[in-house]
Structure 1
Amino acid sequence: MRARLQSLPYGWRLLLATITLGIGTGLVGIACHYLLEGVQWLAFGQDGSDLLQQFKQAGGLRRFLILSVAGILAAGVWYVLQRRYKILSIRSQIDLVGDKEPALLAHILHASMQVAIVGAGASVGKEAAPREVGALIAGRLGKILSLTIKERRVLIACGAGAGLAAVYQVPFASSLFVFETLGVSYRWKNFVLVLSSTYLAAWVSQPIVGHGAIYHMSLVHWSASSFFQAVIVALLVTPLALAFRFLASRASRKRRKDETILWALPLAFLVLGSLVAFFPIFMGNGQVLAQALLSSQSIPYLPLALAVKGLLVYLLLRNGAYGGTLTPSFALGIGSGYLVTLLLTAVGIHLDPALGMLLGATVFLGTTLKAPLTAIALSLGFTGQTWSLTIPLVLAAGLSYVIRKRWEKKR
């Protein structure tokens, strides 16, 4: 069978790899969706669209116990995996094509554990898992079909973007992510590969994952004053996003992988469990916090709540957990943009809090992902907004980009 595939013309092999990748990654998105919902149902009972209500109904003791058990299981799984295998990031998979192949089952278990702990309430994002499995599938397809090293690297990046598109139903933003964050060159051939795989993955997973916006939010409109708001939000939120990115990067670089993970990670989950036993708003990857703000729910001591949420992400990643920072970044950006708008209101400048939240999310995501265009598309896609909001978001993202670049030069 493999010999027959390799006998096909190169163009047909590349097309077959792209189509298979899109379909396969779409199925990965479905699997991640069912795994997340299954863990949440087992852990907290009745399934529902309101996650915060589901967590509250479970009770404080149950939330504490679930996270405590999750910490012990996660520590054991990652300790064993990392003793026997080298866990390769997406960047490593791209760089090491042809030299080192990631262990298939080990990486699938690694990704599954990431989704499982998010379902249990851990403060990390779920998006890293489908991206990593998508990249894994792409690497195997490229090898089986004897594609060139250059094409295999592009295909792995496509797999990562397709994984993101499948779980969040944001194929356009995911395509931008491949070019901006993963550094794929802007060539027509690459555009075709990226767009085909991401849109196909989103289409395959759509019947199960759903195609509606992740966050419920009324349509937001902008006016001339929005440009002033965009500038202020960019100036004040970008330093916060830089601080979070520094902490998250440091945590990932210094992540515990030796035997100390066996006590440090359960202890980190114990801290999280003790906190969410009384304050369920801190449960999960940030979706609960972001939705509460977008729904105009009151959150006492919001500045402290945002600082604690960011530190919880650092605590888990530093002590051995794996996971994404995209969703936590979005939640922190929503909260930061809202706080800036309240600050302006306090000095007599009344602006739209909803637009402030979207501006904050765009600035925060653009800074942490180092991808301003992706951040704009994600903010609009996550909240179901129209593309008419692009103009103020572009201003905020552009100014934030300039600030970030100047800060990086001074380091």
Structure 2
Amino acid sequence: MVHAVAVLLAGLAGGLAGVSLALLLHAIQHLAYGYSLHDLLAGESFLDGVRAATPLRRVLVLTACGGVAGIGWWLLRRYGPPLVPVNAALAEPGTRMPAGATMGHALLQIVTVAMGSPLGREGAPRQVAAMASGRIAAALRVTPEQTRIVVACGAGAGLAAVYNVPLGGALFTMEVLLASFAPSVAVAALAASAVAAAVAWIGLGDVHQYRLPSLSVGAPLVAWALACGPAIGAVGWWYARAARQARAAALRDARMIPACLAAFAVIGLVAMAVPALPGNGKGPIQLGLDGDLGLGVAALLLVLKVLATTACLRAGADGGLLTPGMTIGALLGVVLGALWTMAWPSATGQGAYALVGAVAFLAVSMRMPVTAIVLGFELTRADDDISLPVVVAVALATATARWLDRRTGE
């Protein structure tokens, strides 16, 4: 069995990382856009705050965000020790993630996402928790293989804490980080994520990320999932490839400073007219679930989110792709759902298309079909009535992506 004390401490590290970084994110968001300054956990959302801010403020904040991103990551890469990603630490157990560089990298992600970066925030608590878990394992002198499991459990616990998804965090550890569902791995992952989620409840409250209205689920939605699952899979496969290429070609020298300034300033200019564009995408997902997006707006946001995320990655900024992937999938689901309804009218609401699209796209873009399904339910607290169309869409989307992998030799 994996060292029990190390696993529980890894869960604690994940919980503390998730809570502290989430509170920091909220504080910077509220300060940057000037909303709900008296209450970091107020009901007013980031999208509400951006909408209430003046167009000039949006441009200035996002341009400043580009400066922070460009200068910050250039300094970190120029003068700091080489970063050790979580995957690299797992590939060679015992390899230490440098504390200063890891913390700086995580803080830059949180600060830029809070100021309006279109990338995700979930990578920061994963990295901080994994770094701390590696040191915990070293202090307790656990074996190299157990160290690998403890570090992965810490990373999954960070995800569990920041989004209040204990089962999703555990499955992320098993499916994505360790590629193992062995009993010893499962017990450790579940224990660490449960501890992290409990810590997050104390600091952030037991809340779920999205409000889900009553959904109409029936044969028409299943038929839509059958017809559109392959299309979602193809777009998700293409987006994952585009994001990888953008990261691989990202600027690493001083040129990233003007590149980040330009990329974020353009996002700010567009945000003058489209306030839903800044941020990791939580706002547009909620709009889709609420049924508040027209076909034209959804299609516009879909294109803009793809361009914004890939442009920022190419310029040298960094961040997660979990929420951005869900956003693009939800918007794609809304667009495909609207087109489907024009041809075959039904009582299926926009929220159902958004949820199924978000889960299927996430399953493909991050190559984690099981975790994506569980995250979809944990993030929204959806009823199990929608499980059939979700599973159908994920299965077909994943099969399509794997077929494309074989065709392209990837």
Q: Structure 1 residues 132 and 224 mapped into 2: Cα distance closer, same or farther (>3 Å)?
A: same
Mapped to 2, the partners of 1:118 and 1:305 lie a distance apart of 18
- C-alpha deviations, 1:337-391, integer Å up to 9, x for none? 1111111111134251322211111110000111111111111111121233222
Give 1:218's match in structure 2, choosing from 205, 209, 213. Answer: 213
Equivalences for residues 112-261 of structure 1 within 5 A: 112-261=107-256
What is the aligned residue count? Answer: 399
Equivalences for residues 58-137 of structure 1 within 5 A: 58-83=53-78, 84-98=80-94, 100-137=95-132
- Unpaired runs of 5+ in structure 2? 37-41
8 Å CA contact 1:344, 1:351 repeated in 2: no
- The percent identity for this pair of structures is 29
Mapped to 2, the partners of 1:86 and 1:182 lie a distance apart of 21
Match of 2:39 in 1: none
Match of 1:16 in 2: 5
Q: Structure 1 residues 214 and 173 mapped into 2: Cα distance closer, same or farther (>3 Å)?
A: same
Asked if residue 400 in structure 1 is aligned to residue 397 in structure 2, the reply is yes
Give 2:355's match in structure 1, choosing from 354, 358, 377. Answer: 358
- C-alpha deviations, 1:133-154, integer Å up to 9, x for none? 1111111111111111111111
8 Å CA contact 2:96, 2:131 repeated in 1: no
Match of 1:271 in 2: 266
> Which segment drifts farther, 379-388 or 103-112?
379-388
Asked if residue 331 in structure 1 is aligned to residue 327 in structure 2, the reply is yes
| RMSD (CA atoms) | 1.6
Asked if residue 320 in structure 1 is aligned to residue 321 in structure 2, the reply is no
What residue identity is the alignment partner of 2:308? Answer: L
Q: Please give the secondary structure, in 2, of the residue aligned with 1:281.
A: coil
8 Å CA contact 2:167, 2:190 repeated in 1: yes
Mapped to 2, the partners of 1:86 and 1:35 lie a distance apart of 25
8 Å CA contact 1:126, 1:324 repeated in 2: yes
Shift of 1:219: 3.3
- C-alpha deviations, 1:58-105, integer Å up to 9, x for none? 11111111111121122112111112321122111211323x422102
- Unpaired runs of 5+ in structure 1? 1-10
8 Å CA contact 1:344, 1:350 repeated in 2: no
Equivalences for residues 1-40 of structure 1 within 5 A: 14-40=3-29
| Normalised TM-score (structure 2) | 0.94
What residue identity is the alignment partner of 1:101? Answer: R
Shift of 1:211: 2.1
Shift of 1:221: 4.6
Shift of 1:184: 3.6
8 Å CA contact 2:113, 2:120 repeated in 1: yes
- Structure 1 runs of 4+ aligned residues shifted over 6 Å read none
Q: Structure 1 residues 140 and 336 mapped into 2: Cα distance closer, same or farther (>3 Å)?
A: same
Asked if residue 44 in structure 1 is aligned to residue 33 in structure 2, the reply is yes
Equivalences for residues 288-307 of structure 1 within 5 A: 288-299=283-294, 300-307=296-303
Mapped to 1, the partners of 2:382 and 2:205 lie a distance apart of 17
What residue identity is the alignment partner of 2:403? Answer: R
